[in-house]
Amino acid sequence: MKDYTDGVNDRDQAGVDVTLVDACLALTPEQRLLQNDRVIATIQELRDGFEDSRADQPAD
């Protein structure tokens, strides 16, 4: 029986997580593009937050 608990069996020989591949393939092309937009927006929010936190820190 497949062991789902360690994640190792969900990767191909190159280490790609095939569960993510399958999840992406289950979407329509437009849904995949919109998902990429959301990822980029999230990355930008994190970057902005990081910059804000650095600005809040007192200078050495």
Partner 1 sequence: MASKTAGLTNLLTELVAANVEFVLVGGLAAVAQGAPISTVDVDIVHARSEDNLDRLMTLLTALHAQYRGRLGADPLPPSRDALAGPGHSLFQTDLGPLDCLGAIEQGLDYAALVPRSVGIALGPGRVMVLGLETLIELKRQSSQRKDQLMLPALEATLARRK
Candidates 9, 27, 45, 47; binder of partner 1 (CB under 8 A) is: 27
Between residues 2 and 60, which has the closer beta carbon with respect to partner 1?
2
3-state secondary structure of 15: coil
Q: CB-wise, 40 or 51, nearer to partner 1?
A: 40
Tally of helices (H runs) and strands (E runs) in the chain? 2, 0
C-beta of 52: minimal distance to partner 1 in Å? Answer: 20
Shortest CB 35 distance to partner 1, Å: 8
DSSP character at residue 2: -
Q: Which two tokens stand for residue 36?
A: 């990429």
Length of the chain: 60
Binding of partner 1 by 8 (CB under 8 A)? no
